[in-house]
Structure 1
Amino acid sequence: MRIYATFLIFFLCGSFLATAQYTETINSNRPGNSQGAFAVGPNVLQLEAGGKFGNDDHELLQTETELWGVDYALRFGLFFEELEINLMGSFLDQTTSYMVGAETQNYGISNFDSNTIGVKYLIYDPNKNAKAKKPNLYSWKANQRFDWSIFIPAVAVYGGANFSFGDNPYLYEGQGKFSPRAAVITQNNWGPWVLVLNVIGDQIGEEFPTYSGIATLTHSFSKKFAMFGEFQTIISDIYSDEIARGGLAYLFHKNFQADISGLINFKDTPSRWQVAGGLSYRFDWHKQDQYLEAQEEL
């Protein structure tokens, strides 16, 4: 998760600055729903998966839906530091209850409600080739001046394709089995704090496209323990919502992370809650960090 992008810190060696995207600890997107801007690193294969359980209660339709599912992601760093290919998806089983007269009726569906294969590329890293900041020996005021450059984020772009096979009950009528998905991703690392923003276009070119924005703020309390809060807005003629998520992650090993999380929304058509837990594991065949040295600051 972007939690451990926190550990992508700067090491000052004399008057030189060295940076690399590859991190010594796993960089997982779990347990939030956003993607961080940085790739996992060349020759790194990462598995991220978790189970979820929840309830949707639709006030207008007078239905109640119990659901469980599995979210998963497979990520691989390819060729160089900035590039990642990934597969992200979800299997969902849900049973809906509704009243017919005095009797309760149930119907259930289960299938992959999403599968997307895509490519993420980091197009800008503000710390790449950055100069180490030195104190101004001639001006106390200059040393106290706020550094606005900390708000300049790393920026990545993502492009992918949604796909589905067979008779899938989660496809709405007229929806194609293949459709584009694209995103712009930003990430700010502020010591123990990490802010990730995603702007996403989904089902692009379909009759009912979906647009969403996600803001995720993560705080690391130690090298092993972190928590996050997240807000997502979804805009579509099929389903629109505002969702809040929160959770914790624990680093058992530099290649192994566990997490728990939950979500709620802010409407009653339907009102939603979910709880989830998951694991992330990294197979690290990364051979050598790709360091870039900045020019010495005079």
Structure 2
Amino acid sequence: MKSIQALLVLLFGISSQISFGQFTDEINSNRPGKSMMAFAVGKTIIQTETGVTYVSEDHNLLDYQAKGFMGELAIRYGVWKEELEIIGEIQYQNDKLTSGSYEESRNGFKQLTLGAKYLIYDPFKNFEDKPNLYSWKANHSFKWRQFIPAFAMYAGANFKVGDNPFSYAPSDIIEPSFSPKVTAIAQNHFGGRWVLVTNLTYDKIGTDFATINYILTLTRGFNAQWSGFIENQGYMGDYYSDGVMRIGAAFLFDKHMQVDASIGKNLKDTPGLFNAGIGFSWRFADQYEEVKIAKPGTETKMDKKVKKKAEKEAKKRKDAVE
């Protein structure tokens, strides 16, 4: 637990710079991987990310199998500023546990969380990579700036609804109804096609179920519609530790809709885990108004409104005097 407490201090002790979020031309979905991207969806944007996953669990030592399906739903909403979003996530699983002649149907919420994510630093905001008209070498040289990641922080809470039959903890250890969760998020863009997302999470803080999790997701865009990813996730806790590898692909229907598919397998057989899922992400952006940052010395939209209002007030006073 001391190492977990040290990690929490580290996460909150990171010094940072304030920057601005980004509304992308195309949907910015966390699916089909399990990592959370640094960028928010944009102010007033509502985005849903859903999926259905086949899950299979096989324990060699305890001689049991469990097979079923899990439904996932994430709702993301951009509020207040471009950099901020509120995120609600639900996972509900229904399966059948079999051990010899014994069978048990299980169902319940595996995850119910609510939190907020804020983009703290974007290395490419207000940065323009201008071409060098006098040097071909300078234009084609390696760009060290791509190693500077966008950085965001997530803070939220887990809520327990009913019994959780999928826990690996002993039955006499009761999971609390509320527990905090924090995640540090880094996102690098390499060239125009590669994206690396890193998550470091301290989950269920202050409970017997506390874990340290990491996720590394590498995504490659193949063309304007297709992309693929490979992902490694690891988690360490008092009752269960493991590593999972995932691969998958996503297809962009249009700039607001995406479908995806993925498969995953863990590294151990106590238990061995396998899952395969499909998903759909949809963004409602009809109410979005682009937030533009004016260059120094230029009038912003707000400046023009204030100026126009001042001119109206001056005209009223002049008319009153006359």
Name the TM tier (shorter chain).
0.7 to 0.9
Counterparts of 1:1-298 in structure 2, within 5 Å, are 21-99=22-100, 104-135=101-132, 137=134, 145-170=141-166, 172=169, 173-190=173-190, 191-292=192-293
Distance in 2, matches of 1:260 and 1:143, equals: 37
Structure 2 residue runs of 5 or longer lacking an equivalent are 1-19, 298-322
Supply the AA of the counterpart residue of 2:96: T
Higher Cα Rg, which structure: 2
Deviation, 1:23, is 1.2
Residue 194 of structure 1 aligns to a residue whose secondary structure is: strand
Deviation, 1:24, is 1.7
Residue 223 of structure 2 aligns to a residue whose secondary structure is: coil
Q: Deviations over 1:16-44 (max 9, x none)?
A: xxx96101211111111000000000111
Distance in 1, matches of 2:126 and 2:212, equals: 34
TM-score normalized by structure 2? 0.80
Supply the AA of the counterpart residue of 2:107: S
Q: Is the 8 A contact 2:109 2:161 kept in 1?
A: no
Q: Is the 8 A contact 1:131 1:295 kept in 2?
A: no
Supply the AA of the counterpart residue of 2:144: W
Distance in 2, matches of 1:111 and 1:292, equals: 46
Distance in 2, matches of 1:199 and 1:158, equals: 10
Deviation, 1:146, is 3.0
Q: Deviations over 1:225-244 (max 9, x none)?
A: 11111000111122211100
Structure 1 residue runs of 5 or longer lacking an equivalent are 1-18
Q: Is the 8 A contact 2:40 2:78 kept in 1?
A: yes
Q: Deviations over 1:186-233 (max 9, x none)?
A: 111221111100001111110231111000011111111111110001
Instruction: Mark the CA change 1:168 to 1:20 in structure 2 (over 3 Å): closer, same or farther.
Output: closer
Deviation, 1:142, is 5.4
Q: Is the 8 A contact 2:21 2:122 kept in 1?
A: no
- Structure with higher helix content: 2
Supply the AA of the counterpart residue of 1:188: N
Identify the range of structure 1 (281-290 vs 164-173) with the bigger mean alpha-carbon deviation. Answer: 164-173
Paired position in structure 2 for 1:8: none
Distance in 2, matches of 1:197 and 1:84, equals: 19
Q: Deviations over 1:244-284 (max 9, x none)?
A: 01111111121111111110111110111111001111111
Distance in 1, matches of 2:130 and 2:296, equals: 12
Distance in 2, matches of 1:264 and 1:228, equals: 15
Paired position in structure 1 for 2:311: none
Count residues in correspondence: 273
Distance in 2, matches of 1:37 and 1:242, equals: 23
Distance in 2, matches of 1:207 and 1:146, equals: 47
CA-atom RMSD in angstroms: 2.0
Q: Is the 8 A contact 1:66 1:95 kept in 2?
A: yes
Supply the AA of the counterpart residue of 2:247: G
Relative contact order (C-alpha < 8 Å, sep 6+): which is higher? Answer: 1
Distance in 2, matches of 1:134 and 1:284, equals: 33
Instruction: Mark the CA change 1:286 to 1:64 in structure 2 (over 3 Å): closer, same or farther.
Output: same
Q: Is the 8 A contact 1:55 1:66 kept in 2?
A: yes
Instruction: Mark the CA change 1:182 to 1:237 in structure 2 (over 3 Å): closer, same or farther.
Output: same
Distance in 2, matches of 1:294 and 1:211, equals: 43
Instruction: Mark the CA change 1:53 to 1:256 in structure 2 (over 3 Å): closer, same or farther.
Output: same
Distance in 2, matches of 1:166 and 1:20, equals: 37
Residue 292 of structure 1 aligns to a residue whose secondary structure is: coil
Instruction: Mark the CA change 1:68 to 1:141 in structure 2 (over 3 Å): closer, same or farther.
Output: closer
TM-score normalized by structure 1? 0.86
